[in-house]
Chains A and B, each alone.
Chain A
Amino acid sequence: MVKVAAADSAFRLYTDGLGELEVEATSVRRLIAALEARFPGLGEHVSRRMAVAIDGEIHQDADDAPLRPGAEVWLIPKIGGG
């Protein structure tokens, strides 16, 4: 199990207002699939628009990134820059 949370309001539009979830996943890819299965459209949204912060470290488009049990996973909008 990993704890998945998002501070951004867009996430909650898919989750009936839930800001935190527990998901069984060992990688970002599986996390996205699990989110999609539970809240149709959310996995796609996360895949396209969100970065995944795993234990405080921001990953963008990193589907292979492993998730240790109990990892803190935050979904945040993708970051660009100047």
Chain B
Amino acid sequence: MSRNHVSATVNGDPVEFLSHPGATLLDALRDDLGLTGSKEGCGSGDCGACSVILDGRLVCSCLVLAAEAQGRRIETIEGMADGATLHPLQQKFLEHAALQCGFCTPGLLVAAKALLEVNPDPSESETRYWLAGNLCRCTGYDKVIRAVMDAAADMRQARVPA
């Protein structure tokens, strides 16, 4: 039962940790690095609450072994705002009341950011299908979808890189 030493980049900062055998990236983020913004809702990749961006790809961090993160670049909800300035998606979620309990919100925001990086002008249908892996039980998705599309419109206007 060996432990793997892992060096990675999280939200632009170098991090190091020892991965426990079988530990997931989500475990490492939450337990070793103290980044509890990524949530575990299912542990099986079905709810999206643990969404992070791994080397540019949106993934469920519960389905990535911590050891796999060696040398990888990871972006989490904690890196989304620029200091005290919220990302336009975060701002629009607040303005549209696109969260109720807020538990799925970090995952939804990370997933929405990944969407706008590849598609700055998504249709409602494209947005809904992209976010189909992020379960939200409170909002019925209505305000979430509106917030994402409104943020996309603002970002196109301002040419803010996603």
In the complex, A touching B, CB below 8 Å?
no
